[in-house]
């Protein structure tokens, strides 16, 4: 069973390589963790200057009281909102995987998620529901939420985010199956463009038994529904 | 009323006055130098009759960005966003990010498009004489703005009520939203003042309840907290019963 998941993960990586950018895929992944925390401090002035520029070109007066320190605050804010680039799954999971003879579904649902749309750099946020069927290895529950944090605190596309969370968990645990569902509101749709207030985008990723067995998938979807 | 034309500041002039001669959001910091070109009544709004107490007046004259300015500042905004992407450790050349600086720049201009509009213009053509003096309320108006401290979205709902004094306002005008970088407190006040000046009603009440992404996504990260601000003018401030009726009617 776990080899099947492994196959799917392999496929995902190679497909993603072709689909997104060819040579860039490895570069892209290198960039995913290319920002170390120590570098943040040193990059702050450049970000600050960029924000000052932005405010000026929007017609604002950067010397007025309310905006005096805004470039610095905005720079730190956006660094915080993209802090997922710092972290890798290994960093946070290493000591929280336990051998447990449990092979029933485990679901952690309603995990609040905040991310930035990579197309407009505007937030999108919502809830993540994760389910997995362990294969002798279970993970500390809050680690699932931390995995969501790592991948969501980046410039993202909801589809990719969903898949990254699912493959991240598969690689770490080799479970019998992983399912991830994300339901989010995109401010780029709500605040601009079509301006649809109440629309939500739902994406899902099913790996392993969740993909193969419709009943397992159904059970997950039922148990993680909004009550 | 010619005032609208003569108060248009081009972005070039903005750059000249970088040391603070700008009128924005009701903050007036210094003397205003008028450009030689353009149809402007000489000295009609000249410096002497501006002072910080004329905040209301100067706020009325905000228009610091035109559509042409938008076009012209787009490349620099996009360049700034590219710098930000690099500074965050991303690769601006990857497919998903290739046109992001442009999209982000246009989005930001949209979020702050209140700079192009003046509230008075928006309201002025929909004022009607009507012999109605009962409370009019438009509630649950969705509002989006940006926090001027972190440049992160704020969104929420605005409830507006007023007691007309022979003049009523087209309802959708109440719902026109002004996108600007604002304090929520200031936005509340500005909406109230705009309506007062346009209609001279017996009273105006504005309540805004909003979620600040800067609190939710970062910092204290309090998911469900909302900030509520209100401004009551005229009857709404003086007569507790009126205020009470308004507050009760906007509660859903």
Per-domain boundaries in chain A: 17-85, 96-224
The answer to whether residue B68 neighbours chain A at the CB level (below 8 Å) is no
> What's the pLDDT band for B44 if we cut at 50, 70, 90?
very low
The whole-number pLDDT of residue B220 equals 74
Task: Read off the pLDDT of each residue in B192-209 and give the average, rounded to a whole number.
Answer: 87
Examine the pLDDT at B61 and tell me if it is beyond 90: no
Q: What is the mean pLDDT of residues A117-134?
A: 92
Contact A58/B109, CB-based, under 8 Å? yes
pLDDT on residue A5:
74
Residue B62: pLDDT over 60: no
Mean pLDDT within B138-156: 83
When scoring A21, A46, A60, A62 by the number of chain B Cβ atoms within 10 A, the one with the most, hence best to mutate, is: A60
B212 as an active site residue: the answer is: yes
Given B29, B142, B151, which is nearest A51 (Cβ)?
Answer: B151
Distance between CA atoms of residues A206 and A131, nearest Å: 9
Reported as a pLDDT band with limits 50, 70 and 90, residue B176 is low
Q: Which residues of B touch A59 (CB under 8 A)?
A: 11, 14, 24, 64-65, 69, 112, 115
Output B178 or B219, whichever has higher pLDDT: B219
Mean pLDDT of B12-18: 36
Q: Given pLDDT bands bounded at 50, 70 and 90, which one contains residue B122?
A: low
Per-residue pLDDT, averaged over B201-227, amounts to: 84
pLDDT on residue B184? 64
Selected residues 179-198 of chain A with any CB under 8 Å from a CB in chain B: 187-188, 190-192, 197
Q: Which of A37-46, B4-13, B166-175, B177-186 has the lowest mean pLDDT?
A: B4-13
State yes or no: is B150 an active-site residue: yes
Q: Is B130 among the residues known to form the active site?
A: no
Residues of A in contact with B93 (CB under 8 A): 24
Q: Find, in chain B, the residue whose alpha carbon is nearest to that of A58.
A: B109
Q: Find the range with the poorest average confidence among B62-66, B67-71, B192-196.
A: B62-66
Q: Are B149 and A125 within 8 A, CB to CB? A: no
CA A13 to chain CA centroid, Å, is: 16
ipTM of the prediction: 0.72
B148 is catalytic: yes
Lowest mean pLDDT among A73-77, B211-215, B222-226: B222-226
Instruction: Look at B181 and A206; give whichever has higher pLDDT.
Output: A206
Q: Note whether B84 contacts A: Cβ–Cβ < 8 A.
A: yes
| pLDDT given at position A116 | 92
Q: What is the pLDDT of residue B53?
A: 40
Highest mean pLDDT among A41-55, A63-77, A157-171, B37-51: A157-171
Closest CB to B108 among A54, A56, A66: A54
In angstroms, the CA A90 to CA A106 distance is 21
Helix (H), strand (E) counts: chain B: 11, 9
**Domains delineated in chain B:** 65-117 (1.10.286.10)
Confidence class for position A115, pLDDT limits 50, 70, 90: very high
Tell me which of B165 and B176 has the higher pLDDT. B165
Average pLDDT over residues B130-153: 83
| The pair of three-digit structure tokens given for residue B125, joined into one six-digit string | 């053509």
User: Which pLDDT does position A13 carry in this prediction?
Assistant: 65
Rounded distance between C-alpha atoms, residue A138 and residue A130, angstroms = 13
Q: What is the pLDDT of residues A135-146, one digit of tens each?
A: 988 888 888 998
Least confident of A68-77, A119-128, B56-65, B116-125: B56-65
- Does B165 score more than 50 pLDDT? yes
- Closest approach of chain A CAs to the CA of B163, in angstroms? 30
**Average pLDDT of the residues in A61-70:** 83
pLDDT at B119: 64
**Do A17-85 and A96-224 fold alike per CATH?**
no
Q: How many CB atoms lie within 10 A of CB A171?
A: 16
Within an 8 Å CB–CB cutoff, is residue B245 touching chain A? no
SS3 sequence of A48-81: HHHHHHHHHHCCCCCCCHHHCCHHHHHHHHHHHH
What's the rounded Cα separation, in Å, for the pair A79 and A143? 22
Q: Helix A2-19 to helix A24-32 angle, to the nearest 10 degrees?
A: 110
* Residue scoring higher pLDDT (B48 or A64): A64
The distance from CA B194 to its chain's CA centroid, rounded to whole angstroms, is 10
Question: In this complex, is the C-beta atom of A119 within 8 Å of any C-beta atom belonging to chain B?
Answer: yes
- Confidence (pLDDT) at B4: 38
Q: Which of residues 191-220 of B touch A (CB under 8 A)?
A: 213-214, 216-218
Of B15, B89, B142, the CB nearest to A85: B89
CB atoms inside a 10 Å sphere around CB B33: 12
**For position B123, what pLDDT does the model report?**
66
- What is the rounded average pLDDT of the residues A14-21? 49
Q: Given a cut of 80, is residue B109 above it in pLDDT?
A: yes
Residue A32 has pLDDT above 50, yes or no: no
Residues of A classed as catalytic: 117-120, 158, 186, 188
Yes or no, beta carbons of A123 and B213 under 8 Å apart: yes
Determine the residue of chain A that is closest to B113 in CA distance: A58
Helix (H) or strand (E) run with residue B168 in it: strand B167-169
Mean pLDDT over the full length of chain A:
83
Contacts with B109 from chain A: Cβ below 8 Å: 58
Portion of chain A with pLDDT greater than 70, in percent: 84
- CATH number 2.40.50.140 is the correct assignment for the domain at A96-224: no
Give alpha helix (H) positions in chain A: 2-19, 24-32, 37-57, 70-81, 89-93, 141-152, 158-173, 187-190, 209-212, 214-223
Q: In what order do the strands lie in the sheet with A177-186?
A: A155-156, A106-117, A123-133, A177-186, A201-208
Instruction: Confirm if B61 and B7 have CB atoms less than 8 A apart.
Output: yes
Higher per-residue pLDDT: A26 or A172: A172
Class of A17-85 in CATH: mainly alpha
């Amino acid at each position: 069973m776990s080899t099947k998941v492994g196959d799917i993960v392999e496929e995902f990586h190679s497909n993603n390589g072709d689909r997104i950018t060819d040579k860039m895929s490895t570069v892209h992944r290198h960039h995913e963790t290319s920002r170390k925390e120590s570098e943040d401090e040193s990059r702050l002035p450049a970000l600050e200057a960029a924000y000052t520029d932005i405010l000026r070109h929007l017609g604002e007066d950067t010397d007025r009281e309310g905006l005096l320190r805004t470039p610095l605050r905005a720079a730190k804010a956006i660094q915080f909102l993209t802090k997922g680039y710092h972290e890798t799954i290994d960093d946070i999971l290493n000591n929280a995987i336990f051998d447990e003879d449990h092979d029933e579904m485990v679901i952690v649902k309603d995990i609040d998620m905040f991310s930035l749309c990579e197309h407009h750099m505007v937030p999108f946020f919502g809830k993540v529901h994760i389910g997995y069927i362990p294969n002798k290895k279970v993970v500390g529950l809050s680690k699932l939420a931390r995995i969501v944090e790592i991948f969501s605190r980046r410039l993202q596309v909801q589809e990719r985010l969903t898949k990254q969370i699912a493959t991240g968990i598969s690689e770490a645990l080799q479970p019998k199956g992983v399912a991830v569902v994300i339901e989010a509101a995109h401010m780029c749709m709500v605040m601009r463009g079509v301006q649809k207030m109440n629309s939500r985008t739902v994406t899902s990723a099913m790996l392993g038994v969740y993909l193969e067995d419709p009943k397992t998938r159904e059970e997950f979807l039922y148990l993680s529904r909004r009550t | 009323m010619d005032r609208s034309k003569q108060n248009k500041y081009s972005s070039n002039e903005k750059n000249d006055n970088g040391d603070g001669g700008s009128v924005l959001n009701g903050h007036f910091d210094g003397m205003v130098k008028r450009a030689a070109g353009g149809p402007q009544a000489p000295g009609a709004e000249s410096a002497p009759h501006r002072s910080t107490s004329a905040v209301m007046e100067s706020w009325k004259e905000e228009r610091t960005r035109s559509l042409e300015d938008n076009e012209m500042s787009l490349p620099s905004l996009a360049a700034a966003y590219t710098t930000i992407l690099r500074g965050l450790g991303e690769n601006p050349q990857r497919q998903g990010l290739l046109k992001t600086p442009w999209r982000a720049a246009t989005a930001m201009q949209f979020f702050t498009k209140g700079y192009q509009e003046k509230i008075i213009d928006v309201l002025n053509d929909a004022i009607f004489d009507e012999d109605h003096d009962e409370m009019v309320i438009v509630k649950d108006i969705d509002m989006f703005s940006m926090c001027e401290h972190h440049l992160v979205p704020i969104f929420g709902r605005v409830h507006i009520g007023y007691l007309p004094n022979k003049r009523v306002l087209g309802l959708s005008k109440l719902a026109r939203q002004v996108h600007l970088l604002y304090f929520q407190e200031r936005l509340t006040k500005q909406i109230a003042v705009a309506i007062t000046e346009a209609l001279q009603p017996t009273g105006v009440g504005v309540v805004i309840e909003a979620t600040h992404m800067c609190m939710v996504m970062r910092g204290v990260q309090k998911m469900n907290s909302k900030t509520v601000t209100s401004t009551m003018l005229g009857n709404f401030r003086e007569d507790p019963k009126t205020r009470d009726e308004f507050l009760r009617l906007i509660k859903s």
